[in-house]
Amino acid sequence: MPRVDYDRELRSLQDDLLMLGSMVEKAITKAVDALKRRDIETSKQVINEDDAIDDLRFKLEDKCVEIIATQQPIAKDLRVVFSILHMAVELERMGDYAEGIAKISIMIGQEPPLKPLIDIPIMADKAVALLRRSLNAFLNRDVEEAKRICKDDDDVDNIYDQVYRELLLFMIQDPKTIQRATYLLWVAHDLERTADRATNIAERVVYMVTGKMAETNSKYMA
């Protein structure tokens, strides 16, 4: 006995989540690109566009509440709905990181560059790749890929450590660089958190498919 409306509503939740993911992916890429090119106008655009991300997140939450109230999903359906709710929050927060990076770009303005931006764009590429992969794992219900994503987050952490040490060194050597170095440290931190949140999405994929809730370092992810 197919449940046509119900299944359509579940699919629509999934479509909205993927749309939200793609908006966030675009925002992060755009924010880091604007930072690199010192493009204040694009940074302002990223800030303005965050409202659309927030709106879609609330729309998704509303839909989840409605489907719980009217369709009483259980078992895997219930896990899908709750995972989507959780993922929507993760994505919205990633959108805030993109907005944060755009605000930093504006604060940096036309100050002379501390150093050529190399590691931060690499971090951004890797974080965005993890995000894209986590959404694909969600779409394909791919537990193994989700587990790999959690492991691959270490790459981003390692670059972050490297950027952190490097910026600290700048600050020690020349206190005049503290402000500019701190700005960049915030950017790196935002990207590190973005990657972490991509792994949170991957963990939700594992829960959604297997029913097991676990952090990436638990035995369930081994």
Partner 1 sequence: MNKRDDQVNNEGTATEERSLPHRRVHLHSEHQQQGEQKPADMPISISIQGLNAYYGKFRAVKNITLDIKAKQVTSVIGPSGCGKSTMLRCLNRMHEETQNGRTDGKVLLDDEDIYDKRVDPVAVRRKIGMVFQKPNPFPTMSVFDNVVAGFKLNRFWVNKSELADRVELALKQASLWDEVKDKLNQSGMALSGGQQQRLCIARTLAVEPEVVLMDEPCSALDPVATLKIEDLIRQLTSKYTIVIVTHNMQQAARVSDWTTFLLMGDDRAGELIEYGETKQLFTNPKDERTEAYITGRFG
> Rounded distance, CA 168 to CA 182, Å?
9
Q: Smallest distance from the beta carbon of 62 to partner 1, in angstroms?
A: 22
Burial label for 102, CB within 10 Å (0-12, 13-18, 19+), is: buried
Check residue 118 and report its DSSP letter: -
Q: Smallest distance from the beta carbon of 141 to partner 1, in angstroms?
A: 14
Check residue 222 and report its DSSP letter: -
Specify the stretch interacting with partner 1 by CB under 8 A; choose among 52-60, 68-76, 121-129, 169-177. 68-76
Q: Please name the amino acid found at residue 90.
A: E
Q: Which is nearer to partner 1, 19 or 215 (CB)?
A: 215
* HSE-up (13 A, CA, CB side) for residue 81: 22
* Residues between 138 and 177 that touch partner 1 (CB under 8 A): 157, 160, 164
Exactly one of 74, 110, 112, 144 binds partner 1 (CB under 8 A); that residue is: 74
By CB under 8 A, residue 73 contacts partner 1: yes
Residue 206: closest CA among 221, 222, 193, 218: 221
Residue 58: count other Cβ atoms within 10 Å of its Cβ.
11
Rg of the Cα atoms in the chain: 19
Q: Smallest distance from the beta carbon of 142 to partner 1, in angstroms?
A: 18
Q: Which is nearer to partner 1, 174 or 215 (CB)?
A: 215
By CB under 8 A, residue 11 contacts partner 1: no
User: Which residues here bind partner 1, judged by CB under 8 A?
Assistant: 1-3, 6, 72-79, 96-97, 99-100, 103, 157, 160, 164, 186, 189-190, 192-193, 210-218, 220
